[in-house]
Amino acid sequence: MDGCTVKVVDADRVAAVHERMPPAEDLTDTADVFGLLADPNRLRLLVALLDGELCVCDLAAVTGQSESAVSHALRLLRAHRIVAARRAGRMAYYRLEDPHVRMLLDLALAHTEHTDALHPEREGTT
């Protein structure tokens, strides 16, 4: 069967889901957050910050990235309020912005630890 034979099967459920659906702009902003988390290098930085704040030099050392790449990623993450910075003289120390970011990371990491994901999109890309 290639399609639905009726437009709506459960009208009450469809109405309830439609009612709680966030506005399009909020969904776009949420998708942007997941897009930021989708980059493995940015994700490494965020996982490093789960243990507390670190400066650019330490983040570069922990993640194996250049200081320039770390700075660029942090600027992007900071602009989207994923991380925050604290200045101490000439040094800037970065931390996760709020508990929601930590929760997203913790949940995503826990999910990948207990599942064996299939990756059909990666087939033939080794």
Fold of 27-114: Arc Repressor Mutant, subunit A (1.10.10)
- pLDDT for res 7: 87
Tally of CA atoms within 13 A in the half-sphere of 7 that contains its CB? 1
Mean pLDDT of 97-124: 82
- Sequence ranges of the domains in the chain: 27-114
Distances (CA, A) of 85 to 15, 35, 68, 74, 113: 43, 21, 16, 9, 30
CA 104 to chain centre: 7
Q: Find out whether 95 and 84 touch, Cβ atoms under 8 Å.
A: yes
- pLDDT for res 27: 95
pLDDT at 1 over 70: no
pLDDT at 76 over 80: yes
**Please, what is the Cα angle at 93 between 30 and 95, to 5 degrees?**
35
| 8-56 pLDDT, tens digit each | 889 999 999 999 999 999 999 999 999 999 999 999 999 999 999 999 9
Which residue did the predictor score with more confidence, 126 or 15? 15
**Please, what is the Cα angle at 98 between 92 and 104, to 5 degrees?**
115
% of residues, the chain, pLDDT over 70: 91
